[in-house]
């Protein structure tokens, strides 16, 4: 069960704290009518992390922090990092710079009010911080964000970029930690996280993570609380999206248990602090650092 725990490597565990409808229904005016189910599965996720001695980054939507400040406090009390996932869960492709800044500032205020003291990490809804939305990096830095994890380095469906770098690097004033993918002979495969860990066989996901760790990379895993809640309402929103969303939700828990028991996981902030500490010790500036696993 613990083939990587003794090896010293860590994975980066991330959670996008949004409810089941935020990615399914694009019109925010319809969200008020949807059943609020965020508390149960998020608590369940916190329990899995606690029982396996792992930590992660919880990218919390500002609107959820506003509605459930006690949830943010629970995340903080358990020793996890609270990051920002925007206020309304709107793709950056649908926001201009002024709207983006307003959404971000509103989200950060809600997170602070709920008890998250210093928020330095950000993930854009729908991995939508792509090359064309590069203007967002300056706004993030202006608002105190130092780490971004909004880039999916492979094009699939409506998101991701095949040309994006597949390792942590400095982008302007922000450190970019993409959702690093195992790369086999130049072929990147999305094995760890969300839909992909429900779509591919579990053995593939485990092999991908093991491969990245063996090359000194820190695999980034991401999950949503609703993926641990197979009973949430079923709606149809187009074949592709409906398939992705509801596929084998009853498998998520098994995947998480395997991952959390086999390897050690930490937050983005912890990972970045370790990287900076290592760079200091070696007298290495660490800027634009190369990283295994590209
Ligand atoms: Zn999201």
φ/ψ of 83, rounded to 5, equals -110, 180
Give mean pLDDT, residues 180-187.
Answer: 85
Q: What is the pLDDT of residue 1?
A: 46
Q: How far is the CA of 17 from the centre of ligand 1 (A)?
A: 7
CB neighbours of 13 closer than 8 A, spacing ≥ 6? 49, 54, 55, 56, 57, 221, 260, 265, 266, 267
Share of the chain above pLDDT 70, in %: 94
Per-residue pLDDT, averaged over 133-141, amounts to: 91
The predicted pLDDT at position 288 comes to 43
pLDDT in tens, 267-289: 999 999 998 888 888 876 544 44
| Tens-place pLDDT, residues 104-124 | 999 999 999 999 989 999 999
Query: Which pLDDT score is estimated for 182?
Result: 85
- Domains of the chain plus CATH, in order, are 11-281 (3.20.20.370)
Mean pLDDT in residue range 200-215: 91
| Residue 70 alpha carbon to ligand 1 centre in Å | 20
Instruction: Report d(CA 256, CA 258) in Å as an integer.
Output: 5
* Cα 127 to middle of ligand 1, angstroms: 8
Q: What pTM does this model have?
A: 0.92
CA-nearest of 229, 277, 168 to 41 is: 229
Pairing of strands 174-176, 169-171: antiparallel
Pairwise CA distance, residues 91 & 201, whole Å: 30
* Predicted confidence (pLDDT) at residue 203 exceeds the cutoff of 70: yes
The confidence score (pLDDT) of residue 292 equals 41
Q: Tell whether the model's pLDDT for residue 291 goes beyond 70.
A: no
Calculate how far, in angstroms, residue 14's C-alpha sits from the geometric centre of ligand 1: 11
Tens digits of per-residue pLDDT, 151-163?
A: 888 887 777 787 8
Task: Pick the more confident residue, 35 or 152.
Answer: 35
Calculate the average pLDDT of the chain: 90
Determine the distance separating the centroid of ligand 1 and the alpha carbon of 58, expressed in angstroms.
11
Could you tell me the end-to-end alpha-carbon distance of the chain, in angstroms, rounded to an integer? 27
Tens of pLDDT along 71-105?
999 999 999 999 999 999 999 999 999 999 999 99
């Amino acid at each position: 069960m613990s083939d990587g725990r003794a090896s010293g490597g860590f994975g980066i565990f991330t959670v996008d704290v949004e409810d089941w409808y935020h990615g399914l229904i694009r019109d925010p005016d319809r969200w008020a009518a949807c059943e609020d189910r965020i508390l149960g599965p998020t608590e369940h996720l916190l329990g899995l992390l606690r029982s396996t001695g792992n930590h992660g980054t919880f990218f919390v939507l500002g609107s959820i922090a506003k509605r459930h400040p006690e949830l943010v406090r629970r995340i903080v009390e358990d020793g996890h990092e609270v990051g920002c996932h925007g206020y309304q869960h709107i793709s950056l492709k649908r926001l201009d710079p002024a709207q983006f800044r307003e959404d971000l500032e509103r989200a950060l205020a809600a997170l602070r009010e709920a008890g998250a003291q210093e928020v330095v990490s950000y993930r854009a809804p729908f991995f939508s911080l792509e090359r064309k939305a590069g203007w967002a990096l300056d706004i993030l830095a202006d608002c105190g964000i130092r780490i971004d994890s909004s880039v999916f380095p492979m094009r699939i469906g409506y998101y991701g970029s095949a040309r994006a770098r597949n390792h942590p690097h400095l982008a302007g004033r922000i450190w970019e930690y993409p959702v690093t993918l195992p790369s086999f002979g130049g072929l990147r495969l999305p094995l760890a996280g969300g839909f992909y860990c429900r779509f591919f066989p579990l053995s593939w996901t485990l092999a991908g993570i093991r491969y990245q760790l063996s090359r000194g990379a820190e695999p980034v895993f991401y999950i949503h609380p609703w993926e641990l809640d197979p009973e949430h309402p079923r709606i149809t929103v187009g074949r592709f999206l409906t398939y992705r969303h509801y596929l084998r939700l009853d498998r998520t828990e098994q995947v998480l248990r395997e991952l959390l028991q086999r390897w050690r996981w930490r937050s983005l902030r912890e990972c970045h602090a370790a990287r900076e500490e290592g760079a200091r010790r070696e007298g290495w500036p660490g800027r634009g650092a190369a990283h295994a696993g590209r």
